[in-house]
Amino acid sequence: MTELGDTLTTLLAQNQAWSEVMEEVDSSFFDRLSSGHKPRCFWIGCSDARVSPNQITASKLGELFIYRNIGNQVVAKDAAFNSALEYALFGLGVSHIVLCGHYCCGGVRAALSGESSGKHLTSWLEGMREEFTRRQLTATDVKIVEENWDIACEININFQLARLCSSQLLHDYWDTGSELSIHPILFDLRSGVLKSHNVSVSSSDAAREVAATI
Ligand SMILES: [Zn+2]
């Protein structure tokens, strides 16, 4: 069997075992799951295979509305992101947005070094790389890239927060009188711990201040 076949076989077998355990533990679980979802939190994270939002927060299915991309980026022209944000706010009525970056992020490293796996990824990381260049963090020397990696992951989360705070959708949502707080956090793969920045943004005015930092 091909490697792909092996992978699919494994995934399907694991799913079968999981669904049976869930049914056994809670016989109405799938009835509730299929009846709809009302998550209170919109999670923006990286596509990295090691940072699964539900797993690292021990959240149940249905508790997080999730959007992931390489580098947990907020890009103004990203239609997939804008539609997810719009639905999270005006469809689901979430009251929290978690913007989750992580240490050891390959996207951040590629933006630092300028070495990516192709033209699409290079283009996707362009804004992040410009920010790192502005802060004199980009380098071709592997050792310097390594040294700057942690701080770049921290800068990236603040950069993406500022971009998020520029979104008109957020301001429109606050204008309706809805409550919304944005929480930037960083996941440390080396310890499994999520680090909160303790700088939640909870109003239009606060968001405008953060947006003005870039
Ligand atoms: Zn990443």
Q: What is the DSSP string of 63-123?
A: SEEEEEETT----TT-HHHHHHHHIIIIIS--SEEEEEEETT-HHHHHHHHS--SSHHHHH
Among candidates 152, 153, 154, 171, which has minimal Cα distance to 211?
A: 171
Please tell me the distance between residue 175's alpha carbon and the centre of ligand 1 in angstroms: 33
Residues 2 and 102 in one domain: no
Classify 170 as helix, strand or coil.
Answer: helix
Residues 66 and 125 in one domain: yes
Please tell me the distance between residue 64's alpha carbon and the centre of ligand 1 in angstroms: 19
Domain coverage including residue 3:
1-36
Residues 27 and 43 in one domain: no
Residues 10 and 59 in one domain: no
Please tell me the distance between residue 101's alpha carbon and the centre of ligand 1 in angstroms: 7
Please tell me the distance between residue 28's alpha carbon and the centre of ligand 1 in angstroms: 36
Please tell me the distance between residue 194's alpha carbon and the centre of ligand 1 in angstroms: 14
Residues 26 and 53 in one domain: no
Please tell me the distance between residue 47's alpha carbon and the centre of ligand 1 in angstroms: 6
With a cut of 50, list the residues of the chain below it in pLDDT.
Answer: none
pTM of the predicted model as reported, rounded to 2 decimal places? 0.94
Position 63 scores a pLDDT of 97
Strand order in the sheet with 181-188: 64-69, 41-46, 96-102, 181-188, 193-196
Residues 84 and 62 in one domain: yes
Please tell me the distance between residue 21's alpha carbon and the centre of ligand 1 in angstroms: 31
Residues 94 and 8 in one domain: no
Position 214 scores a pLDDT of 81
Position 197 scores a pLDDT of 72
Position 94 scores a pLDDT of 98
Residues 54 and 85 in one domain: yes
Please tell me the distance between residue 71's alpha carbon and the centre of ligand 1 in angstroms: 5
Name the β-bridge partners of 46. 69
Length of the chain: 214
Residues 51 and 26 in one domain: no
- Total structural domains within the chain: 2
Position 3 scores a pLDDT of 64
| Domain at 141, CATH number | 3.40.1050.10
Residues 8 and 42 in one domain: no
Please tell me the distance between residue 160's alpha carbon and the centre of ligand 1 in angstroms: 13
